[in-house]
Amino acid sequence: MNNPHHMNPRSLKSRFTTRFLRALTKIRAQKPISSSSPTEIFRRYRKIKVAADKSMAYSVRSRKTWSRAMLWKLRSRSHRRRPVKTKFRQSVMKNTKTTTTTGEDGVGFGVEASELRELVPGGEAMDLCNLLDETAHYIKCLTTQVQVMKKIADFYSL
C-alpha cells in the first residue's frame, strides 16, 4: 500500500476490494433491481452490510481473534437461532487465560476497557494486552473498509 505504482494484490485493501465487489455483483443478480421499493432497498442495505463485514473477516481469516469471532458470528447467523455469545466464550475460554479487567489491571481504566470489549468482536474473551493489540488491527481494517466503500460509492455516484 506504500508502493505508489502498484496495489499489492495480496494487501488487505486489495483482498477486501475484490471480495466485496464480487459480493455486490451477487447481490445485484439476486433480485430484479427495477423494483426499488423501500423494503427491497432495505433488504439490499442489510445484505451489503453483511457482505462488507464478511469480506473483511475473510480477508483477515483466522489470523486475528476478532476476525475469528466475526466469522463465527456470521456463520451461526446462517444456521438456526443459537446463543451466539455464550457458545463462543465457552470455546475460546477453554484455550485462553483471561484476566478480569475491572479494577485489577492496576492502570485504572476498567470501565473504558469493558466498553471497548463490546465494540471489538470477540473482545469479551481477550485479556487486556490482546484487547489493545486486536483493537489496533481492527481499527486499521475498519478504516480500509470505509475507504474502499467510499471509493465505490463515489465511483457510482457520478
Burial of residue 120, with CB atoms counted within 10 A of its CB: 0-12 exposed, 13-18 middle, 19 or more buried: buried
| Contacting residue, 63, 83, 85, 146, with another protein by CB under 8 A | 146
2 binds another protein (CB under 8 A): no
**Count of CB atoms situated within 10 Å of the CB of 130:** 18
Determine the 3-state secondary structure of 36 from DSSP.
Answer: coil
The interface mask with another protein, positions 107-126, x = CB under 8 A, is xxx--xx-xx--xx------
Comparing CB distances to another protein, the nearer of 51 and 87 is 51
Q: b/e per residue, 69-88, with b = 16+ CB within 10 A? A: bbbbbeeeeeeeeeeeeeeb
CB 110 within 8 A of CB 102: yes
Tell me, what amino acid is at 136?
A: A
- The CB-of-137 to another protein minimum distance in angstroms stands at 10
73 binds another protein (CB under 8 A): no
10 binds another protein (CB under 8 A): no
Tell me which residues in 15-54 interact with another protein (CB under 8 A).
17-18, 21, 24-25, 27-28, 33-34, 36, 41-42, 44-45, 48-49, 52
82 binds another protein (CB under 8 A): no
155 binds another protein (CB under 8 A): yes
Task: Name the one residue in this structure whose C-alpha cell is 447481490.
Answer: 27
**Count of CB atoms situated within 10 Å of the CB of 68:** 18
- CA neighbor of 134 nearest in space, from 59, 56, 63: 63
- Under DSSP, the state recorded for 83 is -
Which residues are at the interface with another protein (CB under 8 A)? 6-7, 13-14, 17-18, 21, 24-25, 27-28, 33-34, 36, 41-42, 44-45, 48-49, 52, 97, 99, 104-109, 112-113, 115-116, 119-120, 127-129, 132-133, 135-136, 138-140, 142-143, 145-153, 155-157
